[in-house]
Structure 1
Amino acid sequence: MSEVEVVEVGREAVWVMLKMGFPVLLVALLVGLIISLFQALTQLQEMTLTFVPKLIIISLTIVATAPYMTQTLGTFTEMIMDRIVALG
């Protein structure tokens, strides 16, 4: 395997990581922003007010996007396995 192929596999791995993590990070950002605005408007500074809703919403997002994440990771794994077979 040449250096170009190794860099290509690394680039693809980073891209898969970003595609899998982006939905969860985006939802966490939006929920955090909404909760921060709510806290600023009501002047409630309770720690559980930020933690519990984020935990619930992020868990639901992971469940909702699990098929997409599984398909993305499966495609990447197949690509890696095809490259391993091509080496032999």
Structure 2
Amino acid sequence: MTPEFVVGFARQAIEMTLIISLPMLGIGMVVGIFISILQAATQIQEMTLTMVPKIVAIFVALLIAFPWIMDKMMTYTTNLFLNLPNYIR
């Protein structure tokens, strides 16, 4: 196992993590910006007004993106297990 292989393997794992988390992070950011603009326009500074909509939006995004996430994870894990003999050498 060469250092280049280990770095490439770690890079691939980090890329997969970022790709999988992107839908939830994007939705959370969009909802957070919208709520911040709403709070600035109405001057309502309530902490639950920012947290509850973001939690609900992220949960809904997770429910919608879950099949895609599972497909990505299953593909990644299958490739990992199929190439395991090559990694051991």
TM-score with structure 1 setting the length: 0.91
Q: How many residues align?
A: 88
Tell me whether 1:72 sits opposite 2:72 in the alignment: yes
Partner of 1:62: 62
How far 1:29 sits from its partner (Å)?
0.5
Partner of 1:38: 38
TM-score with structure 2 setting the length: 0.90
Paired with 1:80 and 1:24, the residues of 2 have a C-alpha distance of 25
Partner of 2:12: 12
Partner of 2:3: 3
| Identity level (%) | 33
How far 1:39 sits from its partner (Å)?
0.2
Paired with 1:81 and 1:16, the residues of 2 have a C-alpha distance of 16
SS of residue in 1 equivalent to 2:67: helix
Amino acid at match of 2:63: V
How far 1:10 sits from its partner (Å)?
1.0
Q: What is the RMSD computed on CA atoms of the aligned residues? A: 1.3
Paired with 2:5 and 2:68, the residues of 1 have a C-alpha distance of 26
Paired with 2:42 and 2:5, the residues of 1 have a C-alpha distance of 55
